[in-house]
Chain A
Amino acid sequence: MDAYSKKFAKKLKPFLDDRVFTVSEFIDFVNGLLKPLKICEVVVKGEIGEDIYINDKKGWAILNLIDEDGARLGCFAASYVIDRMGVDPEPGLEVKVSGYPEVRKNKGRFSFQVNRISLVGEGDLKKQFEILKKRLKEEGYFDPEKKQKISRFPEYIGLITSKGSDAEKDFITHLKNYGFRVLSYPSRVEGETAIDDIVAGIETFNKNFPELEAIVITRGGGSWESLQAFNSQEVVKKVFSSKIPIISGIGHENDLTLLDLVADERVSTPTDAGKFLSETWQEGEKLILESEKSLSVATGRLIRQVEKRFTEHAHFFRRKIERNFRMKEKGLEHLFSSLTDKIKNRINEFYSLEGEVKLHGYKIRNELKNNSEKVEQLNKNLKTSKIRWEKAIKNKLSEEEKKLNLSNPELKLTQGYSITKKKGEILKSVSDLSEGDLIETKLADGVAESRVEKDD
C-alpha cells in the first residue's frame, strides 16, 4: 500500500505544488480522490455503535460502526437502506456495510455513504432471516393465491445464473430437447452484489422479453451466508412484482430461501429446474401418443357399440313386427274359426233341414204312393161308372128323343096342320087379323104368303 501511495503522491505532487484550495475546492478534491472507491464500492465490517439516529421524516439515518480497537466510522444511510436490512439496527449488531466514503461538504465530516447493510454472523443472519420472513409473510408476499401459474408447456425461458457455472451446465443438461428457447442473463449469485444482478435480470426480462413463459433463477448449493442474495428483501420484492412467473432452483440443505418462498414455483437444484421444465413435456409427449391410441380405440368401441345397438334395434323391431303378425294371425285365426263355426252351424242347420225335408219327402212319397193306388182305383171306378153312365144316358137320351120327336110341331105339319104367322108372330086367334094383313102360312113342305080379304 505504501508503494502505491508513494507512486500516487509522485503523480499528485505537480498538481499540488504552489496550489491553495478554498474549503470547497479542497473538499471536492478529496472527494475526487475517494471517487475510485465509490465506483468500485467498498464493504466495511463492524459493530453498530451506541448512537443511532434515525430521521423518519427526512428519510435517513446516522449510525457508527466501531471495532475492537475503538475505531469509529460515521455512516449515513437512506431509510430504505435500513429498511432493506430487514431488522432494526441495534447497538452491538455485527454488520457489513457496502458503499463509499466521502466528506460531507456542509458538515466537514468524513462519512461513509451506505448503499446496503447486511448482518454478519450466522446467528444474526438467522435472526434477520426470520424477522424478514415473518414481515414479508405478513405483507402477503408468500401467499399461495398470489402465485402465477406457469404455462403447462413452457418453451420460452429466461435464465438467471452464474455464467459457465456447474449450475448453468446442470440446468442445460437436464433440460431435455423439447425445443426450449433459453435466454440467459449471466449473474453473480454470491454475496451482496448478486442482488443487483438478479434484480437487473428480472427487470430486463420483464421489460424487453415480456413474452417469456418463465424465469429460472438458479445456483448450486452453498453455505447459509453465501445464499444471502436469495434472502434479500430486494430480490423478494422484485420477484413478487415480476409479470413473468419465476422458478427458483437454489441448492440448499435445510431452510428454504426467501426466494423459494416468493417464487411461483420452487425446485431444489439447477438439475431439478431443468427436469421440472422437461417433465411436463415428457408427460405431454406420453399423453399425445396414448391419446392417439385411445382415441382410435374409443372411436372403434363406439362404432361397435352403435353396431350392437343397431342390431339390437333391428332384433327388437323384428320381434315387434313378428309379434304383431302373430297377433294379426291369431285374430285372423279367430275370425276364420268363428266363420268356420258359423258356416258349420249353417251347414248343420242345412243338413238337419235337409234331413227333415228328406223325411217329409219320404212321407209325401209314401202318401203319394198310397194315394196313387187310390186314384187308380178311383180311375178304374170312374171308368166303370162312365161306361155305365154313358149307357144309361144314351138310353135316356134316345127315350127323350123319341118323346121330343112326338111333340115336334113340324111333325104335325105333315099331318096337315099349319102354322100362321103375322109379322113373325104366331097367330092363335082370328081377332088378331085385320083386312089387308099379310100373313105367312107354314106347311109341311114350305111357306105360303096370303092376304086377308075379309074380316068377319
Chain B
Amino acid sequence: MTKKDFDFTKAYEEIEEINEWFQKEEIDLEEALSKYERGMELIEKCKERLKKSKNKFEEIKEKYEASEEEDSS
C-alpha cells in the first residue's frame, strides 16, 4: 500500500496537454497521429484505473502506539 502502480495525475496531465496541443491552429498530421495514439493509450489506462476503484480503509493508531511504546521501553 505504498507505491502507486499507475500515476493517474501524471497520465491525466499528459492527456490535458495533448488536448491543448490539438487546439493549436497549425498541426502536423504525423505528430497529431502519434499524439492521438498516446492520448488513447493513456485514456485506456485511466479508464482501467477508474474501474477497479473500491476504497480501502485501515486503522493505524493502536499498531503504532504499541510499537512506539515498545521502542521507548
Contact = CB atoms under 8 A, between A and B. Distances in A.
Interface string A154-183: 011000000100000000100101111111
B59 A184 contact: yes
A254 B56 CA distance: 34
Contact of A185 (B4, B47, B53, B61): B61
B56 A288 contact: no
Contacts of A291: 15, 18-19, 39, 43
A153 B8 contact: yes
A288 B41 CA distance: 11
Q: For A153, A185, A281, which residue has the most chain B Cβ atoms within 10 angstroms?
A: A153
A281 B46 CA distance: 11
Interface of A: 151-153, 155-156, 163, 172, 175, 177-187, 201, 204, 208-209, 211, 281, 284-285, 287-288, 291-292, 294-296, 298-299, 302-303, 306
Nearest to A301: B22
B13 interface: yes
A184 B50 contact: no
Interface string B5-17: 0001100110110
A7 B3 CA distance: 58
Given A153-B12, A288-B15, A288-B43, A298 B22 contact: yes
A281 B39 CA distance: 18
Given A153-B9, A181-B1, A181-B56, A295 B27 contact: no
Interface of B: 1-4, 8-9, 12-13, 15-16, 18-19, 22, 27, 29, 32-33, 36, 39-40, 43, 46-47, 49-50, 52-61, 64
Contacts of B47: 288
Nearest to B57: A182
Contacts of A201: 61
Given A175-B55, A298-B36, 7 more contacts: A152-B12, A156-B1, A177-B54, A181-B55, A182-B56, A291-B15, A295-B18
Contacts of A296: 36
B57 A295 contact: no
A295 B60 contact: no
B55 A179 contact: yes
A155 B39 contact: no
Contacts of B52: 179
Nearest to B22: A298
Contact of A288 (B46, B60, B64): B46
A118 to B, nearest CB: 25
A292 B16 CA distance: 11
Nearest to A168: B57
Contact of B12 (A182, A204, A287): A287
Contacts, number: 104
A152 B52 CA distance: 19
Contacts of B22: 294-295, 298-299, 302
A183 B19 contact: no
A180 B12 contact: no
B64 A208 contact: yes
Nearest to B68: A204
Contacts of B15: 287-288, 291
Contacts of A152: 9, 12-13
B19 to A, nearest CB: 6
Contacts of B29: 302-303, 306
A151 B16 CA distance: 15
A186 B61 contact: yes
A151 B4 CA distance: 13
Given A183-B60, A184-B59, A204-B60, A178 B32 contact: no
B33 A299 contact: yes
B53 A178 contact: yes
A5 to B, nearest CB: 33
B12 A172 contact: no
Given A288-B43, A288-B46, A180 B58 contact: no
A135 B43 CA distance: 49
Contact of A180 (B4, B16, B46, B56): B56
A292 B56 contact: no
Given A182-B58, A204-B64, A295 B40 contact: yes
Given A152-B13, A204-B64, A295-B39, A284 B57 contact: no
Contacts of B56: 180-182
A319 B36 CA distance: 35
Nearest to B32: A302
B70 to A, nearest CB: 14
A306 B33 CA distance: 12
Contacts of A284: 8, 12, 46
